[in-house]
Amino acid sequence: MLGRTQVAVMGNCSNTLGIPPGKGPHQVGCADLMVDHTVQGSFFRLYYPCEPSPSSEKPCWIPSQEYFDGLADFMKINRSFAERIFNYLYGSYRIPAFWEAPFKSNGKYPLVIFSHGLGAFRTLYSAICAELASRGFVVASVEHRDESGSQENLEKVWMYYRALKPGEEEFSLRNNQVQQRANECIRALKILDEINSGKSVTNVLQSEFDWSSLKNSLDLCKTAVMGHSFGGATVIETLCKELTFKCGVALDTWMVPLKEEIFPNVKQPILFINSEKFQWAGNIIRMRKLDSASIQRKMITIRGTVHQSFPDFTFLTGNWIGKVLKLKGDIDPHLAMDLSNKASLAFLQRHLSLDKDFNQWDPLIDGKDENLIPGTNIHVPSSSM
């Protein structure tokens, strides 16, 4: 990798680029936990309200060079070339949270489990996770081990993104993956439940964070699951498998991996937040099959957004290259993220029974804003429903 000083000069091509910090009243800390370094284990980054700590630094956005290789494989470009480009564009950025800062004990916090998209990993949605933590949530951003992303285990063996093989049926692969992803979200929940009850866990990563400080600090009666794209499908699969989750927020969901037979078994409220440019009729039709007369299912679309308006890339790429790579839409990415986060917070307050002021943003859940579309911009023939 390029030297840190060189990367800092090269990576920040504009002073206006950077991942926005949370807007809530809490400072945000983060720490990684890996319980067992096999696919049967759990690996996630925890974002949480923290105490001020002058010695804490903000960690690098991309944790290790191998993640550049994983992104290159996903994008089907040469690893060596991609490493230079990604280092140039993104090598110096840091996430808006303090590394292993002391946990802020202040009653019980609601919990959100977050699931990343295809080809991604646990750090790429730090703007969303940090915003939730700044508003008084604990957020576990899971790194999936289903070969839909890339991550390391204790022996530094990397699990890179696995592309479809010639002649392989996509649904079979993706459905197996989404079921594993859901199990990993549930496993993260159970580990945090154990930590909350005072049980010690073995972190196979080197860490100075005091995980015992979370004891009795999580309100596990107020737990939600959230995710983007493949992570949105993971939200639905997870809600079906685990009723502890009281609701879900699904960002620009890719519905292909899911079996429609599970839809009647999903009993919790869901908020679908879509981009304007990614969705298509078949995908929307499958979302609409989750509509219910008795369970709140909401859908809004953010004008001027693209599929990559939800990960952090949208904040770290200049307008020209952002448009070329479809990492930016026509809307200001800060405005788009603000709308998504506020609608999510309002929905979470409503269905987790939170004593907050997030209900000030209730109109956004119904698409009441000039930059929102109630429902979808995609024409879906009524005969198809």
Q: What is the CATH number of the domain that holds 170?
A: 3.40.50.1820
Question: Does residue 250 or residue 326 have the better pLDDT?
Answer: 250
Measured in whole angstroms, the distance separating CA 385 from the mean position of its chain's CA atoms is 30
- Measured between alpha carbons, how far is 181 from 358 in angstroms, rounded to an integer? 29
Q: How far is CA 357 from CA 26, 205, 341, in A?
A: 15, 37, 14
Rg (CA), the chain: 20
- The average confidence (pLDDT) of the chain is 89
Global pTM reads: 0.89
Q: What is the pLDDT of residue 209?
A: 96
Taking 80 as the threshold, does the pLDDT of residue 133 lie above it? yes
Residue 335 resides in a domain: yes
Selecting among 32, 69, 146, 252, the annotated active-site residue is 252
The domain tally of the chain equals: 1
* Closest alpha carbon to 224 in 170, 268, 288: 268
CA-angle at 58, arms to 251 and 273, nearest 5°: 10
What backbone phi and psi angles, to 5 degrees, belong to 228?
Answer: -120, 135
Contact call for residues 337 and 206 (beta carbons, < 8 A): no
What's the N-to-C CA distance of the chain in angstroms?
52
**Lowest-confidence range among 70-84, 89-103, 159-173, 230-244?**
159-173
Q: How many CB atoms lie within 10 A of CB 280?
A: 9
Residue 331 resides in a domain: yes
Residue 86 resides in a domain: no
Catalytic site includes residue 229: yes
Q: DSSP code of 361?
A: G
The string of pLDDT tens digits covering residues 191-243 is: 999 999 999 999 999 899 999 999 999 999 999 999 999 999 999 999 999 99
Catalytic site includes residue 219: no
Taking 60 as the threshold, does the pLDDT of residue 143 lie above it? yes
Residue 16 resides in a domain: no
Total number of residues shown for the chain: 385
Tokens of 289: 């099959």
What backbone phi and psi angles, to 5 degrees, belong to 180?
Answer: -65, -40
Measured in whole angstroms, the distance separating CA 302 from the mean position of its chain's CA atoms is 17
- Measured between alpha carbons, how far is 175 from 259 in angstroms, rounded to an integer? 7
Question: Does residue 154 or residue 131 have the better pLDDT?
Answer: 131
Selecting among 307, 344, 351, 369, the annotated active-site residue is 307
- Measured between alpha carbons, how far is 357 from 271 in angstroms, rounded to an integer? 19
Sheet holding 270-275, edge to edge: 98-99, 27-35, 42-50, 138-142, 109-115, 218-228, 247-251, 270-275, 297-302, 372-374
The string of pLDDT tens digits covering residues 2-45 is: 222 222 322 333 347 999 999 999 999 999 999 986 667 789 99
What domain range is 172 assigned to?
A: 26-57+102-384
Mean pLDDT, range 300-320, rounded to an integer: 95
Mean pLDDT, range 290-298, rounded to an integer: 96
Selecting among 141, 148, 217, 229, the annotated active-site residue is 229
Residue 334 resides in a domain: yes
The string of pLDDT tens digits covering residues 152-198 is: 443 444 444 445 666 667 788 899 999 999 999 999 999 999 999 99
Q: What is the pLDDT of residue 145?
A: 75
Residue 268 resides in a domain: yes
Confidence band, pLDDT 50/70/90 cuts, at residue 381: confident
Q: Where are the beta strands (DSSP E) in the chain?
A: 27-35, 42-50, 98-99, 109-115, 138-142, 218-228, 247-251, 270-275, 297-302, 372-374
Catalytic site includes residue 126: no
Residue 67 resides in a domain: no
250 forms beta bridges with 227, 272
Q: What is the pLDDT of residue 88?
A: 80
Residue 49 resides in a domain: yes
